[in-house]
Structures are given as C-alpha cells and as structure tokens.
Amino acid sequence: MRWLTNQGYVLMVITGLFWSGNAIVGRGVHEIVPPVGLAFWRWAATLPIFVALAWPYLRRDLPVLLQHWRWMLVLPALAIALYNTIIYFGLDHTTAINMVLINSARPAVIVLLSYLIFHVTVSGMQSIGLVLGFIGTGVILFQGELARIATLELNIGDLWIFVATIVWAVYTVFLPKRPPIHPASFMAYSVMIGLILMLPFYVWETVAVEAVPLVAEAVWAVLFLAVFSSVIAHMGYNRIVELLGANKAGATSYLVMAFGVIIAIIVLGEEFHPFHAAGLAMLLTGTYLATRKETKPL
C-alpha cells in the first residue's frame, strides 16, 4: 500500500476506472433512485469507512482543521455536496457517454481557472488547447448541429454535467489550500460537513419529490459508489494532486472517459455517434495541449 500511494500514474488508472463507474451506475439507476438521495446515501455509506481509516488522526487533526474552517466549508461543499448531486441530476436527462465526454473537459477548465485565479503561466500552445477543448465540448453539447447553436438548444442533462465539470475544476484548483492534515482525516471531515450541507435538500426531496426505495438495485448502487467511486477514487485523486499537481491530476478525466464510453456501450447499450467522435478528437487534442508543460508565456 505504501508503494501504491506513491505511484501517481497507477493511481490515475484506478481512479479513472472507478470514477467511470459513477456514470454507469448513476445512469443505470436514474429511474429508480432520485439524484439527491443517491448522492446523500452514497456519502453516508462512506462515512463509517473514512472514520475507521482516519480514527487515529481525527482528534489530532481537529485543531488544524478549525484553523482552516473556511476552506473546510468550501471544499466539501464543492466535492461532496454539489458535484455528484449535479451529476445525478444530469444523468436523469442524458447518457453516460455524454457525461464522461463532457466531463473530460475538466483538465482544460482546470488550466483556465488556474490562470484566472492564481495567474499560473499559460503558453500560447496551451491557449490553443483551451480553445480546442471548449470547441470539442460545444460539439458534444450541441450534438454537432449548427441549428442547435443558433437557437441555443441544449439538452438540460448535458448542461447540468457541464456545470458539474466546472464545480470539480474549482475544487481541484483550490484543493492545495486544504488543511495540512492526514488524507483520511481530511476525507472523513469533508464527508461529515458535506452530509450536513446536503441534509436539508435530501429531506426536501424525500418529502416533496421522491424517497429512495429500499430495493436491491438501490442498495448495490449505493455500496458500489460508496466503496469504489468514493473511498478509493477520492483518496486516490487527492493523492494524485499531491504527487503530480492539479493540472496533471485533471488528466485523470482521459481515463474516466475511455473506461466510461466502453462500459456504457457494453453494459447500458448506449450508442457512440459521429458527433461524439468529433468532439472527442478535439477534446483529446485540446486537453493534451492545455496540460503540456508551459514554454512561452502569453
């Protein structure tokens, strides 16, 4: 385990595989489990696991956490309360393939936000990559049809996924600001805070919209998302940011995209259309250029 936690690129493969499962499972149960309920119980199921992993560090890290309480509100709000809830809203209206392809714009968004917020140097080639990446995202959002661009006709699910992409990019950019505490302790406290923030919305959804049904599909979905897409993948991603930096960590989206498309076709029977291929080509090229090492500043 000590060896594995120091292998940033191996962790990228594991994280990419398990995060792709988030799209597959979320889409697979979207007619059974409401979005806020799925997100809430996903994180509620992870809490005992994170507390057990972090138990030796929780009391020691609490004073440091309280010193950084502002960031410990912002980061869990983004990563725990908002991101996956928005993703599941999107998956009510769009395919898992669209989700993983649109979400693969995260590296380009991360580079752009790093430049806008922290003035991280962006080269001319990276700027070209950013433009290509966003054009590729637009091709998928508008399904490659110029008429949709003229009328701004968008699938609401795709729009939700794009908003979630921006939310995660903001989280990644600000993640280095997290308190200097043990990673398991950080995740345990993050989940606690995120669940508190989500609770009013979960209660509202349960009372006014729909409750989470106690059926086998819902239970298995929550358990998979809790163990693999939450505990393993999130701790892996946070470690990737520590080892490789925010910009390179964003490239995990490549693998989420690759695994997600393949599994969505095999398991969910979804179709891969020409506009997906065109958008994907531009996203891959743009993201490669956007995340390459800076050479000439603008």
pLDDT, one tens digit per residue, over 22-70 is 889 999 999 999 999 999 999 999 999 999 989 999 999 999 999 989 9
Residue range 198-207, pLDDT digits in tens: 999 999 999 9
**Can you read off the two tokens belonging to residue 176?**
């280095």
Pair 24, 260: CB distance under 8 Å: yes
d(CA 187, CA 229): 13
What Å distances lie between residue 227 and 9, 42, 149, CA to CA? 21, 9, 40
Establish if 8 belongs to a structural domain: no
Could you give the number of structural domains in the chain?
1
Residue 123's domain spans which residues? Answer: 14-291
| 83-107: burial string, b at 16+ Cβ within 10 Å, e else | bbbbbbbbbeebbbbbbbbbbbbbb
Res. 214: pLDDT tops 50? yes
Q: What was the pLDDT predicted at 293?
A: 58
Task: Please name the helix (run of DSSP H) or strand (run of DSSP E) that holds residue 271, with its range, or none.
Answer: none
d(CA 81, CA 103): 18
Establish if 260 belongs to a structural domain: yes
Establish if 269 belongs to a structural domain: yes
Establish if 4 belongs to a structural domain: no
* pTM of structure: 0.82
Whole-number average pLDDT of the chain: 84
Establish if 211 belongs to a structural domain: yes
d(CA 268, CA 250): 26
Residue range 117-133, pLDDT digits in tens: 877 776 777 777 777 77
Kindly tell me the sign of the dihedral angle through the C-alpha atoms of 284, 102, 220, 268: negative
In the block, which residue shows the tokens 């989500």? 198
Establish if 226 belongs to a structural domain: yes
Q: Hey, is 123 helix, strand or coil?
A: strand
Establish if 9 belongs to a structural domain: no
Side chain identity at 26, as an amino acid letter? G
Establish if 2 belongs to a structural domain: no
Q: What was the pLDDT predicted at 250?
A: 66
Residue 155: name the closest of 140, 135, 165 by CA: 140
**Lowest mean per-residue pLDDT among 110-119, 143-152, 205-214, 278-287:** 143-152
